[in-house]
Amino acid sequence: MAAVAETRVFLEVRRRLQSALLVVGEPKDAGLLMDISITPSSLQMKTPEGCTEIGLPAEVRLVPSSCRGLQYVPGDGLHLRLQAQAEFNTKPISMFNPSSRAQGCCTFYCQSCGEVIIRDRKLLRVLPLPSENWGALVGEWCCHPDPFANKPLHPQVNDCFIGDSFFLVNLRSDLWQPRPEVAPAKMSCVSSDTHFKLKPKANTKVICKRCKVMLGETMSSETIKFYMTEIMIQPSERNFPVIPRSQFVQSVIAQCLVELSSARSTFRFSIQGHDGKAYVLLWLLNSDSLVIESLGSSKSITKFPLLEDTSKADSSSAWNAVKVLYQPCITSRNEKLVSSWDNDISVHSLTLPSATCLELLLILSRNNATLPLTLRCMNSFQVAFLKM
């Protein structure tokens, strides 16, 4: 049998709308005729050189008779919309669920290398922190002086406070406990009215002893802020789960966006580094997408390697994803837009280690490059999916 022509397929299913966008790319040999058949559970592309069949995950069902909006886009392929069903629980695993942490002993790991940061910590209280403007709200509502003025919220030994993108933990001083490393102090130039002088500058960065990745920052002599993108918290009886770095960063940030958009009705986010610089602007479009993408190169295809855990040979389920618009802000790009968003109270800022901000930007750019050409931009923004 002749070699099967490679055909690219992109499918986005919107669960709430019960609709799907299907893009079938041109065969590698653009001169070949193609016959496309759609069934509820599969897509079939026939050319004179052979037949490629793509089996959909069991949770996804298409309605072939509902096809509409059929059009051919040069360089992209065939675009069409149709009804779809995705009948399974779509609620993401919440990172802000206190009951999932406040039971038994937990171990804190560096996500990058698996180094133990805090071992066997009993968390009796896992509490969400109020918004960053809570102090101003107290002042508005209290008829007496603010009782919380100049009193930061610091956790006790068995507490874990959860912020938008970080955990606050009390790092007790038991000698047997593993401890992260605090970066050495730096010298900074301090000005006065009459002279300049060198003064030690406190370096609050907390880094992993093994891989030297920044894990968080010291907030006080006993309190450390660990960024969610750098730390994994697991019950002590479980082993460290090996998760690809890109997959972990996408999942954490996607869940942060979903939680914040639901709790605060905000959909625009400025991702800032710990150095205070904006690295990327994100606009959350929707959080109910299932994305399936496959490059057909075999007679029968049932796996989607860009979206699945390839270590699970029997896996055939699509991945939940959030759809975002983004604009890079590095090297002084989009300065006017950054300034406009900084002054907009509807924009929420998320702070992450600067290196992780660059990782996120790389993930978004790589994701954008895998989309069909006509789906990569919307107005002046670029489009990407973050897998949950």
CB-hemisphere CA count at 13 Å for 252?
Answer: 26
State residue 80's pLDDT score.
Answer: 94
Q: For the ranges 261-270, 303-312, 353-362, which has the lowest average pLDDT? A: 303-312
Q: For helices 354-370 and 245-264, what crossing angle results, to 10°?
A: 100
Q: How confident is the model at residue 133 (pLDDT cuts 50, 70, 90)?
A: low
Mean per-residue pLDDT for 47-55? 81
Q: Who contacts 128 (Cβ-Cβ below 8 Å, separation ≥6)?
A: 96, 98, 161, 162
CA–CA distance, 28 with 181 (Å, rounded to integer): 52
Q: How confident is the model at residue 238 (pLDDT cuts 50, 70, 90)?
A: confident
State residue 86's pLDDT score.
Answer: 84
Render the burial of 191-227: b for 16+ CB within 10 Å, e for the rest: eeeeeeeeeeeeebbbbbeeeebbbbbbbeeebbbbb
Contact 327, 340 (CB under 8 A): no
State residue 91's pLDDT score.
Answer: 52
Mean per-residue pLDDT for 175-190? 55
Q: How confident is the model at residue 57 (pLDDT cuts 50, 70, 90)?
A: confident
Q: For the ranges 75-89, 187-201, 237-251, 368-382, which has the lowest average pLDDT? A: 187-201
Q: How confident is the model at residue 104 (pLDDT cuts 50, 70, 90)?
A: confident
Mean per-residue pLDDT for 95-113? 71
Q: How confident is the model at residue 306 (pLDDT cuts 50, 70, 90)?
A: very low
CA–CA distance, 347 with 272 (Å, rounded to integer): 12
| Closest C-alpha among 284, 290, 289 to residue 308 | 290
Instruction: Classify residue 244 by burial, with Cβ atoms within 10 Å: 0-12, 13-18, 19+.
Output: exposed
State residue 48's pLDDT score.
Answer: 81
Asked whether the predicted pLDDT for residue 84 surpasses 90, the reply is yes
Q: How confident is the model at residue 387 (pLDDT cuts 50, 70, 90)?
A: very high
pLDDT digits (tens, 9 = 90+) for 208-222: 999 999 999 998 888
Q: How confident is the model at residue 59 (pLDDT cuts 50, 70, 90)?
A: confident
Asked whether the predicted pLDDT for residue 112 surpasses 60, the reply is yes
Neighbours of 336 (CB within 10 A): 7
Asked whether the predicted pLDDT for residue 347 surpasses 60, the reply is yes
Contact 257, 324 (CB under 8 A): yes
The mean predicted confidence, pLDDT, of the chain is 81
Neighbours of 339 (CB within 10 A): 11
State residue 138's pLDDT score.
Answer: 67
The residue with tokens 């690809």 is: 244
User: From residue 383, how far is each of 262, 278, 373 by CA, in Å?
Assistant: 21, 19, 11
Q: What is the pTM of this model?
A: 0.83
